[in-house]
Amino acid sequence: MHVILIATQKGGSGKSTLAAHFGALAERNGRTILIDADPQGSLSFWYKRREADTPLLAKADANNIGEILDAAEAEGMAWAVVDSPPHNAPLTASLMSRATVTVIPVRPGPFDLDAVAATLAMARSLKAPIACVINAAPPITRGETETSIVAEARAVLVGMGAPVLPGQVSQRASLSHALITGQSVNEYDPDSRAAGEIGAMWSAVAELAGAFPRKP
C-alpha cells in the first residue's frame, strides 16, 4: 500500500484541499482510503457532501491511526492519503516514518517559506522521502511560465535543499466550487486548468511513490 502523507507544521497551507483531490485521483489507480487526522475535520466536511462511494474515509487520531493504516493494508487498499494535523510534531514524525512519500504544501509567501524549515528538518532526521508542492499560487497568465513570486519561492526552497515538484497548484475558484459539492475538480470541471494542474501534480507524486513508471 502506498501511503501519501500531506504534512506541514503550519496551518492554512491547503493540506485538506490536496488530500481531497489526491484521494479522488488515487482511486482511479486502485482502492483508496482517505484518512482525516486533522482535528479541524475539513476533509470530513468535504466527504459528507460527496455522492460517490469512493474513496473511503476514516477519521483518525494519534491513538488509532496506526491501526487504521494496518487494517487498510490488510484489506488490500492500494493507496492511503493522510491529511495530518498542523502543530503536532510527534504524530507527524510517526506518520512520516510510515509514508511512502510526504507531500509538503507551501504557499508562495514569506511566512509559509519560513515555517517549512521545521518540517524539512523533521523529514531529514527521519530520512523520509519528501516533495514540496507550491500550493495556492497566483494563476499563471498567458505567456508566462510561472509568476515571479512562485519563481522566488521555488528558488528559496531549492536553496533550503528541498525537493520541489515542477508546476504549481493555483488558487482557482473551481477548486472551491468542486469541494463544496463533494467532488474533486477533475470530476467537477475535468477540462479546466485547475484539473490539469492537480492531475499533473498527482502524477508526479504517484511517480515518486513508485506507482507509475518514470518518464524517459
CB 185 within 8 A of CB 194: yes
Q: For 28-82, write each residue's pLDDT tens digit.
A: 999 999 999 999 999 999 999 999 999 999 999 999 999 999 999 999 999 999 9
In this prediction, residue 213 has a pLDDT band, given cuts at 50, 70 and 90, of very low
The type of residue at 95 is: L
The HSE-up count of residue 18 (CA atoms within 13 Å, CB side) is: 33
- Residue 214, pLDDT score: 43
CB 169 within 8 A of CB 178: no
- CATH T-level topology, domain 2-208: Rossmann fold (3.40.50)
Q: For 176-204, write each residue's pLDDT tens digit.
A: 999 999 999 999 999 999 999 999 999 99
Cα(103)–Cα(118) distance, integer angstroms: 14
- Residue 211, pLDDT score: 61
- Whether residue 131 is predicted with pLDDT greater than 90 in this model: the reply is yes
- Residue 173, pLDDT score: 93
Q: For 150-162, write each residue's pLDDT tens digit.
A: 999 999 999 999 9
In this prediction, residue 138 has a pLDDT band, given cuts at 50, 70 and 90, of very high
- Residue 36, pLDDT score: 97
In this prediction, residue 140 has a pLDDT band, given cuts at 50, 70 and 90, of confident
% residues pLDDT > 90 (the chain): 86
- 10 compared with 57, residue with greater pLDDT: 57
- Whether residue 215 is predicted with pLDDT greater than 50 in this model: the reply is no
Cα(70)–Cα(65) distance, integer angstroms: 9
**pTM value?**
0.93
**Distance from chain centroid for Cα 93:** 16
